[in-house]
Amino acid sequence: MTHQIPQPRKIPFLGNLTSIDREAPTNSFMLLYQQYGEIFRLDLIGAKVVVISSHSLLNEICDDKRFSKAIAAHIKEIAVLVHDGLFTAHTLDKNWGIAHRLLMPVFGAAAVRDMFPAMEDVISQLVDKWERFGPEYVIEPAKDYTRLTLDAISLASMSSRMNSFYFEDVVPFVAAMNRCLAESQLRANRPRLATAVMASARAQFDADLKLMTDFAKSIVQKRKANPTEPDGHKDLLDRMLTAVDTKTGEKMTDDSIVDNLITFLIAGHETTSAMLTFVTYELLKHPEALFKLRAEVDEVLGDRPVSLEDLPKMPYTVAVMKETLRLRPPASTRSVCPKEATTIGNGKYSVTPEDIITVNVTQVHRDPKVWGDDGDLFRPERMLDGKFEALPPNAWHPFGFGLRACIGRGFAMQEAQMAIATIFQRFDLVLDDPGYTLRLKQNLTIKPSGFYIRAYPRKRLA
Ligand code: HEM
């Protein structure tokens, strides 16, 4: 016999909307988890959401045969901008299939290694900035890491320079994108009628959509007018313009290329920037881990710049990244729908294709059954010496699962490792406010809010 899934009391018309903190929905999921446990139901303006927070339930829904990615409310709103781009498409959409098959190899290990020079170029811009400004300058890491990750994905994927480090504020593309993502999040949690009467918010949203689409279209047009020389370096945009999908015999359409370029700029920078910001936060709050990481970096690199060959020689640095992604997954939720009516929890709970099953990744990553009683603590050692490889399937889940898992995982991990090694080789970072305690803000990803540091130069490179 199945059990009823617990649900907080609903309010007429709004359902459970008032149970969700609009600034950081993740915080609400964590609070509701404490009240209702590993599974609870929410009615969010007509959407029937089932939130799961245990590893065993997550492991059950990691099955592409029984469950497929749900285009939840906030993703639907982003689809207004990027249509059936890789992140927002349904798995059965034809354009998703073509883009997935053509672009997966472009983000494979060998291809990502080729992107090393682009990443190195942009990381050096961040280091130069922090060195030149000196320790008096208060740095908001989330902002400079966003500059770094946006410029790196743009340079690596379409050979286009955003030059974010030369702008006092964010570049216009990012300003538009931030407003769009924030508005998408609000729209997802606001009755449609309210959006319909908010004329100025709608006008701003439309103007931002146009700015971003025009930007991507102009990149495509310029490349078509000046294709890369046959013997020249081929980037992701070349692949999008020329490759033919063997299954359908078709190329990507211009619209699909534009949608996916914007998708890469959005998905490829916010998440990695959040990860770098959380790594910085965790290291500054855990001096013993910082000490070990720096000892490793100093031993491997000495006074010279990081190279590709150095990366596998820094396991502690990778453990710090994995542990940070566990405790603070930047994409703190992901959602699936059952393909047909079924049960989860070993037959305990009934779910139907109308249900959106949302994974509370932050809590799953602390499940005591997997991580023990100290799952709330930052302890990179739990990712070392074969322990990571011995984890149960899907216990570590920051990049999603299966067909719809993150295409940029290798890119993000390489870029972040290069950046962390270089930054901690070159600087002593300190908290601007030693008493800072973590506050979160949430857009498409979660990030620390009000988090500032200073950078004392340590080493000049040989
Ligand atoms: C999908 C996380 C970096 C591009 C995803 C998903 C997650 C994720 C959880 C699955 C979403 C879902 O199931 O709805 C992350 C994290 C990153 C990161 C934590 C960094 C630390 C990147 C980078 C790129 C990228 C650097 C681009 C180069 C994408 C795309 C998808 C995706 C295009 C959709 C794939 C598909 O459905 O076919 N990411 N991501 N991500 N990510 Fe990432």
The interface pTM score, or ipTM, of the predicted complex is: 0.99
Q: Which of 188-192, 265-269, 347-351 has the lowest mean pLDDT?
A: 188-192
Question: What's the pLDDT score for residue 229?
Answer: 63
Encode pLDDT of 146-176 as tens digits: 999 999 999 999 999 999 999 988 889 989 9
Alpha helices in 37-171 (DSSP H): 55-61, 73-82, 94-103, 109-114, 116-133, 141-158
Residue for token digits 């509370």?
360
pLDDT at 461 over 70: no
Residue 247: how many other CB atoms lie within 10 Å: 9
Dist. CA 223–CA 387, nearest whole Å: 46
Element (H, E) at 351: strand 349-351
| Whether residue 411 has its Cβ less than 6 Å from ligand 1 | yes
Q: Which residue has the tokens 């279209």?
A: 217
Give the burial class of 137: count Cβ atoms within 10 A of its Cβ; 0-12 exposed, 13-18 middle, 19 or more buried.
Answer: exposed
In sign, the C-alpha dihedral spanning 295, 301, 302, 304 is: negative
Condensed to tens digits (0 to 9), the pLDDT of residues 250-269 reads 999 999 999 999 999 999 88
Looking up tokens 């915080």 gives: 27
Q: How many CB atoms lie within 10 A of CB 130?
A: 22
For ligand 1, the distance from its centroid to the CA atom of residue 87, given in whole angstroms, is 7
Q: Does residue 355 carry a pLDDT above 70?
A: yes
Ligand 1 near 410 CB (within 6 A): no
pLDDT at position 234 is 79
For the Cβ of 69 lying below 6 angstroms from any atom of ligand 1, the answer is yes
Q: What are phi and psi of 357, to 5 degrees?
A: -90, 115
What average pLDDT does this structure show over 1-23?
90
Q: Which atom of ligand 1 is nearest to the CA of 149?
A: 26
| Token reading at 375 | 């799952």
pLDDT of residue 32: 97
453-457 and 427-431 strand pairing: antiparallel
Nearest CA to ligand 1 atom 21: 272
Ligand 1: atom nearest CA of 397 is: 9
| CA–centroid distance, residue 409 to ligand 1 (Å) | 7
Region 424-434: mean pLDDT is: 97
From CA 336, how far away is CA 404, in angstroms rounded? 10
Distance of alpha carbon 119 from alpha carbon 114, whole angstroms: 10
Does the Cβ of 100 fall within 6 Å of ligand 1? Answer: yes
The answer to whether residue 389 scores a pLDDT higher than 80 is: yes
Q: What is the pLDDT of residues 201-218, one digit of tens each?
A: 889 999 999 999 999 999
Whether ligand 1 lies within 6 angstroms of the CB of 408 is answered as: yes
Q: Give, for ligand 1, the residue of 406, 418, 446 to mutate: max count of ligand atoms closer than 8 Å to Cβ.
A: 406
The owner of tokens 């990443």 is 119
Residue-averaged pLDDT of the chain: 93
Is the Cβ–Cβ distance between 416 and 275 less than 8 Å?
A: yes
Best of 91, 103, 271, 396 for a ligand 1 pocket test (most atoms within 8 Å of beta carbon): 271
Model pLDDT, residue 442? 83
> Mean pLDDT across the stretch 240-255?
95
Q: Is the pTM above the cut of 0.90?
A: yes
Going by the DSSP 8-state scheme, the letter that residue 393 receives in this structure is: T
Other C-beta atoms lying within 10 Å of the C-beta of residue 385: 11
* Contact present, 252 and 95 (Cβ < 8 Å): yes
Pocket probe for ligand 1: among 272, 358, 399, 445, the residue whose CB has the most ligand atoms within 8 Å is 399
d(CA 302, CA 298): 5
Catalytic residues: 271, 399, 406
Q: Is 267 in the pocket of ligand 1 (CB under 6 A)?
A: yes
- Alpha carbon 156 to its chain's center: 17
pLDDT at res. 325: 98
Residue 107 has pLDDT above 80, yes or no: yes
- Stretch 388-392: mean pLDDT, rounded? 98
Average pLDDT over residues 55-80: 94
Q: Judging by DSSP bridges, how do beta strands 355-360 and 47-52 pair with one another?
A: parallel
Residue 230 is predicted with a pLDDT of 58
Say how many Å lie between the CA of residue 360 and the centre of ligand 1: 16
CA of 11 to the centre of ligand 1 (A): 35
